[in-house]
Chains A and B, each alone.
Chain A
Amino acid sequence: MKSRTGIAARQFYIMTFGLTIGTSILVIPSGLAHTAREDAWIASLCSLMINLVMVVLYLFIARLHPGRHLFEIHEAAFGKWPGKIISLLYLFYFLILTGTLLGDLGFFMSSEIMPETPIEAIQIVFLVAAVISAGMGVVVLARLGELLFPWVLFLFLILVLTLIPQIEWNHIKPVLEGGTGPVFQAGFQSAMFQELIVMMTFLPLVQKRKSGEKAFLWGTLTGGIVLLLIVLLSILVLGIEQTENSTFPAYALAKTINIGNILQRVEGILITIWILTFFIKISLLYLSILKGIQTVFGLKAPQHLIYPLAVLFLIIAWNTYINTVYVNDIIGTVWGKFSFIFLLLIPIMIYVITLLKKMIFRKNT
């Protein structure tokens, strides 16, 4: 049997994959189509590249700080107290993220699938599952990921295959009408929604460093390809006008599946993929926050913080997700820049500072 604290590279890969797809799959085509029009899929490709570059940066940081997780790296790079402050900022970022994810889930379920069920009921039931998962720890989550992964892949395959007959190639022409500007802008914006930095909390848990790094990159790549395919299919099947104007484009996409009037009304497939990956994402965030609090405040075990955190998530979900229009506005104008600080700016600072420290250290000796 494997040790109870470590995770295998394969499991790490699956978690990265889940983190990339979770929530993004449902909403991302809309924003991309809005800015990049017919070239949304190129923008998605662009976003995949940016994500890969970010992961490479994270991996460089991880190499400079072997065995340390995200929050320990902060303290090592910036010094004890500034590091703790940076960690707290990250905790705040993760907290808001978890809250909005929960709000997203609630709004989707209550506006498209179960309009009469109170949104709180959906969120609480889901949170209970996340609480249990957080209590069991990352090892159990990793194993659960292994169980879910084949299903996610299988359902995704069905989704793609059933949509192929409806493809209308004219929808993606002309290519690069507005030049590369909007494409890059949209790609950059959407790269800010995969939050791969979360995986830095778990990277040290992977026993073999080399295979862990590989898993991180592969997870980002395959997750990005799934997103790319969803964006491409949204444009090819729905056309830009409807992709752009849908609250949940991927769901609208799944609704159009109709093969010979027999295989139809199977949007449940998409919901299942989404719920499964969403669960992985929210559990990872939960565990990451617990780890962060433990590190910052030097706690022995953060387990008794699970319940208070759950309440906090709910409060944030209810207060940040006021209505769909408000959230879309925030996502469009503020969130990308806000995320940029945590996903790119601080990691770059960490990298530069650590390198400088090393150089000074070397000179002194």
Chain B
Amino acid sequence: MRGRRALTILLILSLLSLTGCWSRKELNDLALVMALGIDLVPEGYAVTAQVMNPSEAGNQKGASSGSLPVVTYKSVGRTVPDALQRMLSMTPRMLYLSHIRVLVFGEALARSGVSDALDFISRNHQLRTDFFLLVAKNSKASNILEIITPFEHIPANSLYSSILVSHKKWAATGKVTLQQFITELERGGSNPIMSGVQLKGDVEEGESAKNVQGISPKTLIQHAGIAVFKKDKLVGWLGEPLSKSVNYTLNDVDSTVGNVPSPDGGTVGFIVYRADTSMDIKLNDQGKPEFTVQLNIEANLTTVEGTLDLNKPSSIEGIEKNLEKRFDDRMASDIREVQQKYNSDIFGFGEALHRKYPKLWKDYRDHWEDSFKTVKIDVHSKVAVRRIGSVIQPLKRELEEK
């Protein structure tokens, strides 16, 4: 019995000295990659990694050796892992990919197809699926990752949070994760999108810390609307109004602002704070599907220019009617533009058809792209203006009344 007890104690004590993992990686042996950029080069892929320098990133004030909180490495290889491996010849530490916030594709690569590059990204066990995918508009991915940004020490974090914020408040950017992209890509009745970024200003100037020392930084990273993909290839860009229409159709708008002519000839600014979209499908006489996008919007007034009489309910009704007309026309023409110009079903109308009429979908599945181009899509919106802010009558009206 005593021997047993001694053995037990010995075993428990040995736990103290046996802590540790087989393949432990200490934080100071790792280079945390915050953003990854992939470009197409003749030899294969050029990979850019924005790596955090923890000792500098932790420094809030002073005591800095003057180096930047991030370092960007670039290397070239036949495949993405090749290039990453080759990067080790420059980095002092092992690259650790689990904390990537954004993955940027160069436009050239996006146009020639991203699926080969994405295969590594989804196959690698270190990479998770929660980061955002971006396309660098009119530039290489490496340029985007070489810019020092104000506010955030780490440019990748700056990109990440600006995607979140602008998506939530502006609604003209996409918030696309790897998981969404792959799902949209592999389905027969939908095509994926990505959010675009572009440089505003000069690359050279943006590369050094000087960029953030002035009060208005010379070079900034800016969102550039939505990139339309057809299968895994980039086919074109959507500007701000189009991108908003896409997000409305995808039921992906949290809040956004806009303006509309008011019934008396002035202009009314509004903020959408609730938008709910649903797709409805009906079959016409020839058994062809016709789509209706039903949009329910609740909005508040933000600014009223002109002399509209806001004491009358009919004024609000007039604004609502104008808004509805505006949404109906604008969205329908935007969707038609995507249909005709890019012929890519980024809205997932095909999937909606698949869900509602699985039997009919069998006829369309193999050539949905041809049918999508000519399919009839209507937009029907219902707008409710709820609040008008802290004052009732427009200031201009108050002035004129006196």
Please tell me the number of chain A residues within 8 Å of chain B, measured between CB atoms: 24
A177 CA to B129 CA in the complex, in Å?
A: 29
Q: Determine whether the beta carbon of B179 is less than 8 Å from that of A111.
A: no
Residue of A nearest to B124 (CB): A115
Quick one: which of B129, B187, B355 contacts A173, CB cutoff 8 A? B355
With A241-B182, A256-B130 as contacts: A115 and B354 at CB distance below 8 Å: no
B356 contacts chain A at the CB level, 8 A cutoff: yes
| B355→A174 contact, CB < 8 A | yes
Partner of A256, one of B125, B129, B186, B358: B129
Q: Report which of A117, A121, A174 forms a contact with B354, defined as CB distance below 8 A.
A: A174
Cβ-based interface call for B23 (8 A): yes
Query: From B128, which residue of chain A is reached at the shortest CB distance?
Result: A255
Give min CB distance, B105 to chain A, whole Å. Answer: 20
Contact B354 A241 (CB under 8 A): no
Instruction: Give every chain A residue within 8 A of B354 (Cβ-Cβ).
Output: 174
B179 near A238 with CB under 8 A, answer yes
Q: Are A170 and B355 in contact (CB under 8 A)?
A: yes
CB-CB < 8 A to B183: which residues of A?
238-239, 241-242
B355 and A114 contacting across the interface, CB-CB below 8 Å:
no
Q: Mark B174-186, 1 if CB is under 8 A from A, else 0.
A: 0000010011001
Complex Cα distance, B21 from A170, in Å, reads: 42
Residues of chain A contacted by B179 (CB below 8 angstroms): 238, 242, 256
Chain B residue at smallest Cβ distance from A252: B129
Interface residues of A in 110-143 (CB under 8 A from B): 111-118, 121
Residues of A within 8 A of B128 (CB): 255, 265
Q: Give the shortest distance, in Å, between A293 (CB) and chain B (any CB).
A: 30
* A255 to B129 Cα, complex, angstroms: 8
The answer for the CA separation of A177 and B179 in the assembled complex, in Å, is 24
Q: In the complex, which of the residues B23, B182, B356 contacts A115, with contact meaning CB atoms closer than 8 Å? A: B23
Asked if B151 is at the interface of the complex by the 8 Å CB criterion, the answer is: no
Q: Mark A232-247, 1 if CB is under 8 A from B, else 0.
A: 0000001101100100
Q: Which of A112, A242, A252, A265 has the most CB of B within 10 A?
A: A242
Q: What residues of A have a CB within 8 angstroms of the CB of B358 in the complex? A: 174, 177
Give the CA-CA distance A252 to B354 in the complex, in Å.
Answer: 26
Are B129 and A117 within 8 A (Cβ)? no
The answer to whether the Cβ of A264 comes within 8 Å of any Cβ in the partner chain is: yes
A245 CB contacts on chain B under 8 angstroms: 186
Interface assignment of A339: CB less than 8 Å from any CB of chain B: no
Per a CB cutoff under 8 Å, which of A114, A117, A264 touches B130? A264
Asked if A211 is at the interface of the complex by the 8 Å CB criterion, the answer is: no
B345 at the interface (CB under 8 A from A): no
Whether a CB of chain B sits under 8 angstroms from the CB of A258 is yes
CB neighbours of A265 from chain B (8 A):
128
Residues of A within 8 A of B324 (CB): none
Residues of B within 8 A of A177 (CB): 358
CB pair A242–B23 under 8 Å, yes or no, is no
B-facing mask of A31-43, CB < 8 A → 1, else 0? Answer: 0000000000000
**Contact among B22, B125, B130 for A121, CB-based, below 8 A:** B22
- Give chain B nearest CB distance to A118 CB in angstroms: 8
Are B125 and A115 neighbours in the complex by a CB distance under 8 Å? yes
B contact residues around A174 at 8 Å (CB): 354-356, 358
Contact A114 B22 (CB under 8 A): yes
Q: B351 an interface residue at 8 Å Cβ cutoff?
A: yes
A61 to B351, CA, bound (A): 49
The docked-state distance in angstroms from the alpha carbon of A264 to that of B177 is 15
Asked if B22 and A117 sit within 8 Å, CB to CB, the answer is: yes
**Do B130 and A258 have beta carbons less than 8 Å apart?**
yes
The answer to whether A114 and B23 have CB atoms under 8 Å apart is: yes
Interface residues of chain A, those whose CB is within 8 Å of chain B, are 111-118, 121, 170, 173-174, 177, 238-239, 241-242, 245, 252, 255-256, 258, 264-265
Q: A117-B21, A241-B186 are in contact. List 10 more A-B contacts (CB 8 A).
A: A111-B125, A112-B125, A116-B22, A117-B22, A121-B22, A170-B351, A170-B355, A173-B355, A242-B179, A255-B128
List 28 A-B pairs, Cβ < 8 Å: A112-B125, A113-B125, A114-B21, A114-B23, A116-B22, A117-B21, A117-B23, A121-B22, A170-B355, A173-B355, A174-B354, A174-B355, A174-B356, A177-B358, A239-B183, A239-B187, A241-B182, A241-B183, A241-B187, A242-B179, A242-B182, A242-B186, A252-B129, A255-B128, A256-B130, A256-B179, A258-B130, A264-B130
